[in-house]
A and B are shown apart, each in its own frame.
Chain A
Amino acid sequence: MKYLVALCLILASHSALAHLQVGITLHPYYSYVANIVGDRADVLPLIDSGFNPHNYQLSPADIERLNSLDALVVNGIGHDLFATNTVERLQPKHLTVIWANQDVPLIGHDEKVNAHSFVSIDAAIRQVYTIAKALGELDAENKTYFLRNAMDYARTLRALKTPVQQALLNQDLSNIRIASTHGAYAYLLQEFGLTVSAIIEPAHGVSPTASQLEDTIQTIRQQNIDVLFTELNMENHYVDLIEQETGIKIYYFSHMTHGEYSADQVEREMSHNLRKLAEALQP
């Protein structure tokens, strides 16, 4: 009996060791990978939650974690430069980097790519499929399981869109003018045929100067902008001033890179965004 228990323990520990160690750089990728791999791989955030990915520098402990991974899933188009720059410099021997956006038709302006493809449903699904395929190549035994989970997760994400699509079904959205505090929501809005007419912040999280704010207020008035989408979990005092001066309706979207890492974060926060979008576009 003792031997049997020991054997079971050895087998269990071997099975745990055989699990792929998959690193992620940003919160949405935690949700994507967790939903793809289920309990058949370990999902490890490269950095703790609470850090601003725009200006983070990897610590020696992060680099040690990086070296222990089998795969690292990256946004790779500018939102996790703290990781991609380090990976390109160090080129860890046993690490497979999964470029989640490699198949996404990217949008942007002035040759600058918009890196927020994770604040979206369709671009998120495209990334989920790319990640699932790459993980399936690393772990052939679980390939079918990963791909099936990816399709199930895609179905769940698509279903989030349905109530909003129905709410907007008979509405003419062609005259809706939208402003956004930064460019994070362009992919999501585009899924509903909407484009952003004005972006307020000169860079993510950087408040506009007094003269930039004045220009923005003028733009909002001149272009008859109806709605301003701004970011939840970020202090934007100047938004209140814009509201006072222009009477514009303000709605808060999640950027999905705050809080604890969790498998259901994308679902939860995307539902919030879609609810707010439907609310904002009601006549």
Chain B
Amino acid sequence: MSFSTQVMNPQPSLTMPSSNIEVVIPDDGRQETRYFAFISIAVVVVAGMLLWLNHSGAQTKLSELPNQLSNSATQISNAIAELNMLDEAGLLTYPLSAELLPLPVIPGASLHEFSQTCYVIEQAGYLFAIEKETAWQAHWAKSDLIADCHANLNWHELNH
């Protein structure tokens, strides 16, 4: 805060005849108090936003797949990794069939073979498509009907 000073007319005094009374009045014409408050609030808001951005950026996203199906997705993901390793090592014998592949046996799920390179596992209204394009991969989608790997459904990565 800054203040301006002004010397007022000297008043007669018995005790200190030569003294002046100085009245200091606040000069709030420049609105320092308000600016200070604005800046303080702005700093707090910006810091809060940065913290929020930092926190939300680092968060790992949960899968949209229901929790009770995540183990099925994990087992299928493991099978995909194994299929790719076996395929790379030339250990998959063609023509392929579901019995020859290391696909998981999931209680309450049914396996559908559409072709040598397209298998679908259905569980509780969700489809897991296992297919080979350049490499083996798998996706999931919500569907009440059994459909093949290329059906027009909203497919998701297994971990999304």
Contacts and interface: CB of A to CB of B under 8 A. Distances in A.
A118 B82 CA distance: 19
Contacts of B158: 103, 105
Contact of A78 (B60, B81, B89, B159): B60
A39 to B, nearest CB: 21
Interface in A99-141: 101-109, 111-113, 122-123, 125-126, 129-130, 133
B81 A106 contact: no
B62 to A, nearest CB: 5
Interface residues of B, number: 22
Contacts of A270: none
Nearest to B104: A122
Among B60, B68, B74, B85, the most chain A Cβ lie within 10 Å of the Cβ of B74
A190 interface: yes
B89 A108 contact: no
B101 to A, nearest CB: 15
Contacts of B82: 129, 151, 154
A103 B59 CA distance: 16
B31 interface: no
**Main SS of the interface on chain B?**
helix
B60 A190 contact: no
B77 A103 contact: yes
Interface residues of A, number: 32
Contact of B62 (A107, A125, A129, A133): A107
**Main SS of the interface on chain A?**
mixed
Nearest to A165: B107
Contacts of B134: none
B71 interface: yes
Given A106-B63, A122-B78, A190 B71 contact: yes
Nearest to A101: B60
Given A104-B159, A129-B78, A130-B81, 12 more contacts: A101-B60, A105-B73, A105-B159, A108-B62, A111-B59, A112-B62, A113-B62, A122-B71, A190-B68, A191-B71, A195-B67, A195-B68
Interface of B: 58-60, 62-63, 65, 67-68, 70-71, 73-75, 77-78, 81-82, 85, 89, 107, 158-159
9 nearest CB pairs, A to B: A105-B73, A129-B81, A105-B70, A122-B74, A107-B67, A190-B71, A113-B60, A77-B60, A107-B70
Interface of A: 76-78, 88, 101-109, 111-113, 122-123, 125-126, 129-130, 133, 144, 147, 151, 154, 187, 190-191, 193, 195
